[in-house]
Amino acid sequence: MTLGQRLIANEWSAIAVAIVIGVVGLAATSPAFLTEFNLYVMMRSFCVVLVVAFAQMLTLAVGQLNLSIGALGGLVAIAIGGMMEVLGFPIAVALPIGLAIGALGGLINGLLTVRTGINGFIITLATASAFTGINLGITESIPFYNLPSAFVAFGTARLSAFPMLLIPPVIVALLLALFLARTVPGRQLLAVGGNPHAAQLSGVHMNGIVVLAHTLSGLLAAVGAILAVAQLGSAQPTIGQDWLIMSFAAPIIGGAALTGGHVSVAATALAVVLIVLIQNGMVLAQVDPYWVQFLLGALILAAVGLNRLRAVRAGEA
């Protein structure tokens, strides 16, 4: 195998090349790109998308999907906002409850999917609507603005270009990589996605693993919601509305198969870097922000096309 072929065969190499081209291109054309502030802004917008992408990646790993990530995120966002502003709960109480709500929402998704045997698409489409309904019913679309100053300050704190907000997502990424690579439930999760029948024959408790994947997905959606609230400085009921396409785009660009069993924490993270880079480039070039929507669609199509090509090549070899 030549170096070129090896690069094509590697799932994240194409993304890495695209990122390098993007960085060099932007640095050459826009003097504002490599400024400390712009790097800070970029890394800050990286945080929420990364965790949201991981939330979807976990359901994709078992061959499921979760349309309710954004709705659940919105619900958790207003729940922690309401707890801190209206009920006066301290941060240390509100955030764990918020995480628990996320995990509970995911657990409901998982149990409904497993118990009824109905396609996860329909289940999470329905629960997404229900979560959004609860969110809008409680808030009537009015955000919570008066959050504890320590919480809001964390959202804007930085060490030169490095935002403090980036610390939780990095920890999540490391834990997730460890979970999928080194723990029994993590391996079982991938085994169930790769070949459910074989996994079951090897004694893996299938339903339990699917429920676990959904629960963790909900938990990560809650982490994303907390980060989004900290980033915005207010708990907006609209948080999560634009997560759907992002949540699928990053894992799929990162080479995840919809059939399950194949996901990569590193490739997903690189895909998020690429998406953030494109968004930032659009802003710097002062292009119509609508181009982001267009390019995201094109990027997904390009990625699945490339994956397809790779699969065909692998089949020929």
Partner 1 sequence: MTATETLNPDPVMTVADANEAPARRGAFLAESGNLIGLAAIVLIFWVVLTSLRPGFISNFNLFTLSRSLAIDIVIGFSTMVVLATGGMNLAIGSIGVCAVMAAGFLMQGLGLPPLVAFAAALALGAALGWLNGFAIVRSGVNSFIITLASASLYLGAMLILSKAVTFNELPAAVADFGKLRFGGFVSPLLIIALAIGAALIVLFRFTALGREILAAGANPRAAELSGVPVGRVVIIAHTLSGALAGAAGLMLVARLGAAMPSIGQDWLLPSFLAPVLGGTLLSGGAVSVIGTMLGALLVTTIRSGLLVMQVGNFWLQLFLGVILLAAVMLDRYRGKVAERRSLGRR
The residues of the shown chain that bind partner 1, judged by CB under 8 A, are 65, 112, 116-119, 121-123, 125-134, 136-137, 140-141, 245, 248, 252, 258, 288, 290-298, 300-301, 304-305, 308
CB of 302 to partner 1, least distance (A): 9
Least distance between partner 1 and beta carbon 157 (Å): 33
**Nearer to partner 1 (CB atom), residue 141 or residue 202:** 141
- The Cα 317–Cα 17 span in angstroms is 24
**Cβ closest to partner 1, residue 154 vs residue 248:** 248
Which residues lie closer than 8 Å to 84 by C-beta, 6 or more apart?
91, 94, 144, 147, 148, 151, 235
* Dist. CA 140–CA 157, nearest whole Å: 31
- Whichever of 97 and 125 has its CB closer to partner 1, that residue is 125
Least distance to partner 1, CB of residue 155, Å: 27
Closer residue to partner 1 in complex, CB, 222/246: 246
Quote the least distance from Cβ 248 to partner 1, whole Å.
Answer: 6
Q: Measured from the CB atom, is 117 or 203 closer to partner 1? A: 117
CB nearer to partner 1: pick between 43 and 75: 75
Tell me the pairing of strands 162-163 and 158-159. Answer: antiparallel
Beta strands in the chain (DSSP E): 158-159, 162-163
Contacting residues for 218 by C-beta, under 8 A, at least 6 apart = 55, 72, 102, 103, 104, 105, 106, 107, 109
CB of 235 to partner 1, least distance (A): 16
What is the closest distance, in whole angstroms, from the C-beta atom of residue 228 to partner 1 in the complex?
Answer: 20
d(CA 303, CA 252): 7
Q: What is the CA radius of gyration of the chain?
A: 20
For residue 75, the surrounding DSSP H or E stretch is: helix 69-85
